[in-house]
Amino acid sequence: MVSLLQSLLRFPKTLLAVILLISAIFFYVMKENSRMETNLDEYMPQEHPAFVYSNQAEEWFNIQDGIILAIENKDGIYNSGTLQKVKDLTRSLQEMEEIEKEDVTSLYTADNIVGTESGLDVKAFFKKVPDSPEKLAELRQNVRGNEMIYERLVNTNETVTVVIAGIKDDVFTQEFYHRLLELAKTYEGPENIYVAGRPIVEGTMAYLGPLDMKRMVPVVIAVIILVLFMVQRSFKAVLLTLLVVLFSVVWAFGLMAAVNIPVYAVSTMIPVMLIAIGVADGIHMYSHLHLFLRANPGADKKSATLNLLKEMWKPVVMTSVTTAVGFISLLTSEVYPIKYFGVFTAFGVMAAMVFSLLLIPAGIIVFGLPRWKNKNKSGEQHENRVLNAIASSVIRYKFITLFATMVIVAVSVWGTTKVWINSSFLDKFELDSEIVLTDLFINENFGGTSTLNVILDSENKDAFKEPAVLNALDRLQSDVDTPLQVVGNSFALTDYLKRMNKVLHADSAEYNVIPETKELVAQYLLLYEMSGDPENLWKVVDYNYQKANLTFQLKSDNSIALNSAIAEVEKHIPELEKLGVTINYAGSGYKGLVFTDLILEGQIKSLVMSLAIVILLLSMMFKKFSAGLIGSVPILITALIGFGVMGLFNIPLSTTTALLSSIAIGIGVDYAVHFIERYKIYAGETNDKDLTGRMTMQHSGRAIVFNAIVVIAGFLVLLASVFPPNRALGALVSLNMLTSFIGTTTIMYLLLVMFNTFFKNETNNK
């Protein structure tokens, strides 16, 4: 391997030029072909049974995510000016090419089912805006008397009304999103206009996410440069270490663009991984070079480079291979963005390995050795007392070290039991951000901005004309609506039938129930089809009355809210099954919940698989199974502490924080491999445990400290992100770096000593 590297380094300037040229090509491809995927449906595995069924249900019932525009007049909405704005805003939305005209619902377009002398009539609440006190009072009374509209389109204190526009996911663009916001602004004064709904939340996240990363990444890099310079004390070393990271990122994203894979939200975390890993190789290599030059102050750049390659190629290759394997294990996930994240991060890791072994030595040959001030020539005189103290204290107080580790692991395991999964998009924003406050305002005044679609299915034609089935559906609605504060409202075929039964009996509240016979139900439905718009009916039931869509409005889109509603729904499964009715779920809220569960499931699979593979690889690399097991200890502890802290501090597992296990493995493996490799070398040279421990601490331990300081400083910058999950990730990555360093230099080192690893005999061991 060394001879191959030496051959490539015979023409260092040519080698640097080739690397620069290929990087420039990748950068051009990345710049020209990269595209951000903002349609969150594309994040989900469409072949998964839950998504297949949901997509079918969305077609059956025209289920669409709704944009909600709330119009608030603190003096009341029943005045000509506000109602004119309701009408004009409705028409403006209907004219947008992204929105179907019939999918806009407001007081201006909503059906008012009323009884007449001849039977049933379905008409608009108003076509011409009421301009007299009498007509306004009549409109108010009509809305108050209609259970299908009151508290759904108008709030109880009658100061807010909403316009709801359903749109398909594939038409939502940033340009459309901004046009909606501009449209809302034109209608403000004296009314306040609020814009909410899942598409708005997704659009805001897709818009602000890349902007936040563009703002944060340069700051992170600047901080890392500053801290790198503090620990490496050489501009040349900092430059070459940083180029390793930057080129690996460019190659990863360039390849992604070349094969036409879009950039997903999770892909923005790839630089995070590559910075942590790429910087580690550079720091370890320059730390070794520094120690070599201390011991050999007269060495020239060629001899120093040769020694660097001989001593460091193996740990650099081993750390890169094991880390890449850890990321490749993400292929077990069913979620395509996670799969792509694993593949391209692994490619970036291997690219960083190549750059570390070629670019850094070539840079040293071309630009010369770093200039470090060495006052002494003896390696012994330069020993770091703190690191020596750690080495001796860990052994002297080994039982305390073991006990403290067990306590930390136990607390961490307990903390992991408290980790909860959060599928919410809204929780990715600050509590006091405009989008969250807007959503909160609408949730306080109406049923909720999030939805859960419960699809009821029967093999029997006209099943949902049977009073027994309809009453069971009505009880399901009532039982889920009543106990759960998070459920604000529900809507189904039962609401149509109860309304028709009531108005055909002189608006008597006594008849606000399901009709008693199947014949009467069929008669009411026929009357509605003849009088109203049957397209509205097909949103709650299919043409054969075998499938029904029950929609719950939720005041939160997080997993706790969705799961609590689903738990209440499933209490009714036995009753419905007796009637030949099965239950399934659909809609974006449910798909988001399944999506998050799949991410967690994939992370658990990849964590178990990557740990097993890492243990196997470490065992093969060091030719000892015990070394593989010992090397996995800091990785496992780091992962446990990370998830334990999440549970203890109520940090949910999301699409962002779910990557923590990958980071834990990537970082933990690097530290473990460098430390064990150097420990093995010194053990063979000295056969003295104490001396081996001190020398390893001075070499790899020193580099690990530098690496931890650099990356912790860099990723603490993410605490300034506008997104709470990014801040959580920054804090957790920093914690991972710290715990990996501590775990490697304490419990892993102690286990190496206790199991007499790499020592052939006890003769000279102290």
Looking at residue 457, which CATH number applies to its domain?
Answer: 3.30.70
Q: Mind listing the pLDDT tens digit for each residue in 234-269? A: 888 889 999 999 999 999 999 999 999 988 877 877
User: Are both 716 and 745 inside the same structural domain?
Assistant: yes
User: Are both 596 and 555 inside the same structural domain?
Assistant: no
Residue 766: the pLDDT is 47
**In-domain check, residue 217:** no
**In-domain check, residue 214:** no
**In-domain check, residue 431:** no
CA distance 703 to 291: 11
CA distance 588 to 333: 20
User: Are both 18 and 97 inside the same structural domain?
Assistant: no
User: Are both 558 and 595 inside the same structural domain?
Assistant: no
Joined together, the tokens standing for residue 155 give 């709030």
- Yes or no: say if 56 and 175 are a contact pair by the CB < 8 Å rule: no
CA distance 87 to 96: 15
Residues 6+ apart with CB under 8 A from 381: none
Residue 763: the pLDDT is 47
Residue 157: the pLDDT is 92
Domain that holds residue 256: 1-33+233-382
CA distance 724 to 405: 30
CA distance 572 to 6: 73
Tell me the DSSP string of 465-486.
G-HHHHHHHHHHHHHHHTT-TT
User: Are both 282 and 404 inside the same structural domain?
Assistant: no
Phi-psi region of 726 (alpha: psi -120 to 50; beta: other; left: phi over 0): alpha
- Yes or no: say if 481 and 487 are a contact pair by the CB < 8 Å rule: yes
**In-domain check, residue 73:** yes
Give residue 339's identity as a one-letter amino acid code: K
User: Are both 564 and 606 inside the same structural domain?
Assistant: no
CA distance 299 to 276: 31
**In-domain check, residue 215:** no
Joined together, the tokens standing for residue 379 give 């390696």
User: Are both 29 and 86 inside the same structural domain?
Assistant: no
**In-domain check, residue 747:** yes
Joined together, the tokens standing for residue 319 give 């750390």
Residue 82: the pLDDT is 95
Among 586, 620, 655, which residue terminates a domain?
586
pTM of the model: 0.79
Could you tell me the CA-to-CA distances from 250 to 39, 274, 483 in Å, in that order?
Answer: 24, 11, 53
Give the orientation angle of helix 174-186 with respect to helix 198-232, to 10 degrees. Answer: 120
CA distance 226 to 533: 67
Closest CA to 220 of 703, 609, 720: 720
CA distance 723 to 672: 32
E-assigned strand segments in 434-574: 450-458, 487-491, 547-554
**In-domain check, residue 645:** yes
User: Are both 582 and 592 inside the same structural domain?
Assistant: no
Domain count, the chain: 4
- The CATH number of whichever domain residue 762 belongs to comes to 1.20.1640.10
Q: What share of the chain is helix, strand, coil (3-state, %, to 5)?
A: 65, 10, 25
CA distance 191 to 377: 78
| Secondary element (H or E) of residue 193 | strand 192-196
User: Are both 361 and 283 inside the same structural domain?
Assistant: yes
Could you tell me the CA-to-CA distances from 700 to 316, 379, 434, 680 in Å, in that order?
Answer: 12, 14, 49, 12
User: Are both 551 and 636 inside the same structural domain?
Assistant: no
User: Is residue 47 classed as helix, strand or coil in its secondary structure?
Assistant: coil
In which order are the strands placed within the sheet that holds 192-196? 104-105, 160-167, 65-72, 192-196
User: Are both 512 and 567 inside the same structural domain?
Assistant: yes
Residue 144: the pLDDT is 93
Residue 764: the pLDDT is 47
Among 586, 614, 630, which residue terminates a domain?
586
Residues of the chain with pLDDT under 70: 38-41, 168-172, 372-383, 483-484, 532-533, 760-766
**In-domain check, residue 508:** yes
DSSP class of residue 264 equals -
Residue 734: the pLDDT is 87
Among 586, 617, 648, which residue terminates a domain?
586
User: Are both 198 and 81 inside the same structural domain?
Assistant: yes
Residue 549: the pLDDT is 96
Residues 6+ apart with CB under 8 A from 407: none
- Yes or no: say if 451 and 197 are a contact pair by the CB < 8 Å rule: no
